[in-house]
Amino acid sequence: MIDLGHSAGMRREGVDIAPAPSVAARTSATADGPASLDAAVECRNIVKTFARGHVVALENVSLSIRANEFFTLLGPSGCGKTTLLRLIAGLEAQDSGSITVNGLRLDGLPPFKRPVNTVFQSYAVFPHLTVARNIAFGLEMQRRPKREIAARVEEMLALVRLDGLEARKPAELSGGQQQRVALARALATQPRVLLLDEPLSALDQKLRTGMQLELKRLQAEIGITFVFVTHDQHEALTMSDRIAVMNGGRILQIGTPEEIYERPAARFVADFIGETNLLAATRIAPRRYRLASGLEVGAAEDATPVDVTLAIRPERIVIEEPGAGQLAGSVDQVVYEGIATTYHIALSDGSRLRVCVQSRESARRRLCRGETVGLTLPPEAVKVLTA
């Protein structure tokens, strides 16, 4: 849906009013070479500044989003993710670079001519219209036949599970139901790409989890490309086919949730996604690193720079009997979290490691504050970060 920043009466949405991409448009694309044909959205060398160049929101961003992909732009506040989404929607114009959707170059096209729709954080449904009229809105703007609109509204109501509520006004709906109306309205015109800007952040946690599953189901069922913006790493990991992790106007890594979590390419990514232990270290031999304390750790991978950061997830560290393992430490804090317990272990140099043990495991032997333990850091779980 639905850009309420534009006059509702003027806004026409949906793929059918966008010109069909010509063969030339599908293959010519940019000066940097042709856009790839299986990419639903292709951004090339996007630069966007604000305040007459003083704020650089996007710094030469390139990415290629595949057709039917659930693609997430993830990063902290101010990293540029909303700006990138607004550029694709046509709500802002980039300083340089190009954007294509299904091979159609969008540069210069007004929002209503782009084959994309947007769902915003604030549901932005029309308060004076019923659920059915809200969903029908884009189709009415396109002057579709009445019978087609009625059939499509019915289909959308079933898709977002709002059957029976079509005569209600938004004020008579819950937040989650209003967001479903917004989704149905955005999907009714069959956009090729749906842009979602933190669409679940106004919902409470339980509803939010439910809607995450719902969105995943919807995307699989209708098979269109979703470009989803969030700062919530858990949401990104659970919903996405692929994630672009952004910081400071740049993309640091693009990968599947597993790749991003298991093989972070940069210290920022390791730190931002999930819990991780970061240890400054020096390479002393191939696949061998020395921590500041003088303790040595092996890793399965090698790095060329001397100064590196070792990253290891808390659940990958193994607690051993005292004297066993590579490192020795003492339990400084025990945090019981229901399905798991996190132990904060103080090492001899004063640094701390977090070690997460599933409750099923920790029930066998509970550790207490002050206890001495050994720790094993399996080399294959130690990620060597150079950036």
Binding segment for ligand ATP among 74-82, 95-103, 307-315, 319-327 (CB under 6 A)? 74-82
Residue 230 or 362: which CB sits closer to ligand ATP? Answer: 230
Residue 79 or 196: which CB sits closer to ligand ATP? Answer: 79
Q: Applying CB under 6 A, which of residues 12, 44, 81, 185 lies at the interface with ligand ATP?
A: 81
Binding segment for ligand ATP among 77-85, 206-214, 335-343, 370-378 (CB under 6 A)? 77-85
Residue 253 or 309: which CB sits closer to ligand ATP? Answer: 253
Residue 231 or 313: which CB sits closer to ligand ATP? Answer: 231
Min dist. Cβ of residue 119 to ligand ATP (A)? 15
Binding segment for ligand ATP among 73-81, 107-115, 283-291, 334-342 (CB under 6 A)? 73-81
In the complex, residue closest to ligand ATP by CB: 82
Asked if residue 79 binds ligand ATP (CB under 6 A), the reply is yes
Asked if residue 82 binds ligand ATP (CB under 6 A), the reply is yes
Interaction pattern, residues 47-66, with ligand ATP; x per rule: CB under 6 A: ---xx---x-x---------
Min dist. Cβ of residue 197 to ligand ATP (A)? 8
Spatial CA neighbour of 113 closest among 2, 8, 42, 14: 14
Asked if residue 83 binds ligand ATP (CB under 6 A), the reply is yes
Q: Which of residues 207-246 bind ligand ATP (CB under 6 A)?
A: 231
Asked if residue 199 binds ligand ATP (CB under 6 A), the reply is no
**CA gyration radius, the chain:** 25
A 10 A CB-CB count for 174 gives 10
Asked if residue 94 binds ligand ATP (CB under 6 A), the reply is no
Min dist. Cβ of residue 58 to ligand ATP (A)? 8
A 10 A CB-CB count for 359 gives 12
Residue 87 or 182: which CB sits closer to ligand ATP? Answer: 87
Asked if residue 43 binds ligand ATP (CB under 6 A), the reply is no
How would you write the chain as a 3-class SS string?
CCCCCCCCCCCCCCHHHCCCCCHHHHHHCECCECCCCCEEEEEEEEEEEECCCCEEEEEEEEEEEECCCEEEEECCCCCCHHHHHHHHHCCCCCCEEEEEECCEECCCCCHHHCCEEEECCCCCCCCCCCHHHHHHHHHHHCCCCHHHHHHHHHHHHHHCCCCCCCCCCHHHCCHHHHHHHHHHHHHHCCCCEEEEECCCCCCCHHHHHHHHHHHHHHHHHHCCEEEEEECCHHHHHHHCCEEEEEECCEEEEEECHHHHHHCCCCHHHHHHCCCCEEEEEEEEECCEEEECCCCEEECCCCCCCCEEEEEECHHHCEEECCCCCCEEEEEEEEEECCCEEEEEEEECCCCEEEEEEEHHHHCCCCCCCCCEEEEECCHHHCEEECC
Instruction: Name 245's bridge partners.
Output: 74, 253
Q: How far is CA 107 from CA 32, 75, 221, 342, in A?
A: 15, 25, 30, 50
Q: Applying CB under 6 A, which of residues 77, 128, 145, 147 lies at the interface with ligand ATP?
A: 77
Residue 11 or 86: which CB sits closer to ligand ATP? Answer: 86
Min dist. Cβ of residue 312 to ligand ATP (A)? 28
Pairing of strands 193-197, 116-119: parallel
Residues contacting ligand ATP: total by CB under 6 A: 13
Asked if residue 248 binds ligand ATP (CB under 6 A), the reply is no
Binding segment for ligand ATP among 62-70, 78-86, 235-243, 367-375 (CB under 6 A)? 78-86
Min dist. Cβ of residue 48 to ligand ATP (A)? 8
Instruction: Provide the binding-site residues for ligand ATP, judged by CB under 6 A.
Output: 50-51, 55, 57, 75, 77-83, 231
